[in-house]
């Protein structure tokens, strides 16, 4: 196959490009580097089956030649990023998704949307199954990301139902691993970078809010399986093992000598109190189960950040 991957220079997009190339496919990567980095795809520069187009997908998208798949991963995805780029986040979720659905329709290609667990908002159902409609504040600060992805899901399903386009929607829960940015504001990277710098580890509120952490190789395997499947309804992918934020902080402190103490700051607006995927569908339909546990995944991620920080 020849596939178009948007957000290809980002954390997930670059790993996804690696996976499709490893499976023998051709990849057209697209990114405007608003949050992605050329470093993430530098190793692909000499790869004959990889080509790159620098472009903002919120503007008209045109790709020469046949395309068999479109995988839309372009979007700011961490709270720091989407609060810094709120309009761009809304545009890439709406205009960008519309443009790329148009490419898939014109090329007769399969379309996969990278959605998020944030569509569930601050959930009143726990764990979160795909059937849960969510508890989202559309006008809160986080609404720019939550509603961009909810709209993206809606228009993807509209193209599926109205045009008969083969579509896939993955709802991605917290994911971590190499190629994360040091300053992306996500909890795993925050704690590791703070610890490596000998700083205090910052939690928000009492740190009792829970998260589930999926290592990047597990997630990419699930996405590849979903793309190859016949499932059009949204599908959760994430690690169902649940930890409090404080537990994560203490685990990072045990792995990095010299880390500072854990300190608390006020809880951000609309910060979800719980987050854990129900992955029954992924297990049954995709035969998928995350394999890398948090302890081992953190070790690999710490190695990555030591390299980033020159340690």
Percent of the chain at pLDDT above 90?
95
pLDDT value for 254: 97
Asked whether residue 188 falls in the same domain as residue 142, the answer is no
* Residue 29 forms part of a structural domain: yes
Average pLDDT value for the chain: 96
Q: Are residues 150 and 46 in the same domain?
A: yes
Q: Do 125 and 189 share a domain, yes or no? A: no
59 and 191 share a domain?
no
**111 and 219 both lie in a single domain:** yes
The answer to whether residues 14 and 68 belong to one domain is yes
Q: In this structure, are 297 and 151 located in the same domain?
A: no
Contact between 46 and 21 (Cβ < 8 Å):
no
CATH number at residue 130: 3.40.50.720
- For residues 46 and 167, membership in a common domain is answered with yes
pLDDT at 41 over 90: yes
Q: Is the pLDDT of residue 168 over 80?
A: yes
pLDDT above 90 for 128: yes
Same domain? 204 vs 114: no
What element of type H or E holds 175?
Answer: strand 175-176
What is residue 217's predicted lDDT score, i.e. its pLDDT? Answer: 98
Please indicate, yes or no, whether the overall pTM of this predicted structure exceeds 0.95. yes
**Is a pLDDT exceeding 80 seen at residue 25?**
yes
User: Residue 300 belongs to what domain range?
Assistant: 181-211+241-275+292-308
Rounded to 5 degrees, φ, ψ at 212 are: -120, 135
Whether residues 76 and 190 fall in one domain: no
Has residue 205 been placed in a domain?
yes
The number of distinct structural domains making up the chain is: 2
Whose tokens are 């190859």? That residue is 228
| Residue 43: Cβ-neighbour burial (10 angstroms; 0-12, 13-18, 19+) | exposed
Q: Is 82 an annotated catalytic residue?
A: no
Joined tokens for residue 158: 């509209």
Q: Are 179 and 14 in contact (CB under 8 A)?
A: yes
Q: Is the domain of 24 the same as that of 162? A: yes
Would you say 140 and 292 are in contact if contact means Cβ atoms under 8 Å apart?
Answer: no
Residues 66 and 54 in one domain: yes
Q: Is 261 helix (H, G, I), strand (E, B) or coil?
A: coil
Of the listed 82, 120, 145, 215, which one is catalytic?
145
Each residue of 255-297: pLDDT tens digit? 999 999 999 999 888 778 899 999 999 999 999 999 999 999 9
Cα separation, 180 vs 97, whole angstroms: 24
Q: At what angle do helices 187-196 and 294-308 cross, to 10 degrees?
A: 60
User: What would the two tokens of residue 246 be?
Assistant: 């404080």
């Amino acid at each position: 196959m020849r596939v178009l991957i948007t957000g290809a220079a980002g954390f997930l997009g670059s790993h996804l490009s690696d996976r499709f190339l490893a499976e023998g496919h051709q990849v057209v990567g697209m990114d405007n580097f608003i949050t992605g980095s050329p470093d993430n795809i530098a190793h692909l520069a000499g790869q004959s089956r990889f080509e790159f187009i620098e472009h903002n997908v919120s503007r008209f998208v045109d790709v020469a030649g046949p395309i068999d798949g479109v995988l839309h991963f372009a979007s700011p995805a961490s709270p720091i990023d989407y609060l810094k780029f709120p309009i761009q986040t809304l545009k890439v979720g709406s205009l960008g998704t519309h443009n790329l659905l148009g490419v898939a329709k014109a090329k007769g290609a399969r379309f996969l949307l990278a959605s998020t667990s944030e569509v569930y908002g601050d959930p009143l159902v726990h764990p979160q199954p795909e059937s849960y409609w969510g508890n989202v504040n559309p006008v809160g600060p986080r609404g720019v990301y939550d509603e961009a992805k909810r709209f993206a899901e809606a228009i993807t399903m509209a193209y599926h139902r109205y045009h008969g386009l083969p579509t896939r929607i993955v709802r991605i829960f917290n994911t971590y691993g190499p190629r994360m940015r040091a300053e992306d504001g996500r909890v795993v990277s925050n704690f590791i970078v703070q610890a490596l710098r000998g700083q205090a580890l910052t939690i928000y509120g009492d740190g009792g809010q829970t998260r589930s952490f999926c290592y990047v190789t597990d997630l990419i395997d699930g996405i590849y399986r979903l793309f190859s499947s016949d499932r059009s309804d949204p599908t959760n992918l994430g690690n169902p093992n649940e930890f409090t934020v404080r537990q994560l902080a203490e685990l990072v402190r045990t792995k990095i000598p010299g880390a500072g103490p854990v300190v608390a700051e006020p809880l951000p607006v609309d910060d979800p109190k719980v987050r854990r995927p129900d992955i029954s569908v992924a297990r049954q339909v995709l035969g998928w189960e995350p394999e890398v546990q948090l302890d081992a995944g953190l070790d690999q991620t710490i190695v990555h950040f030591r390299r980033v920080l020159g340690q």
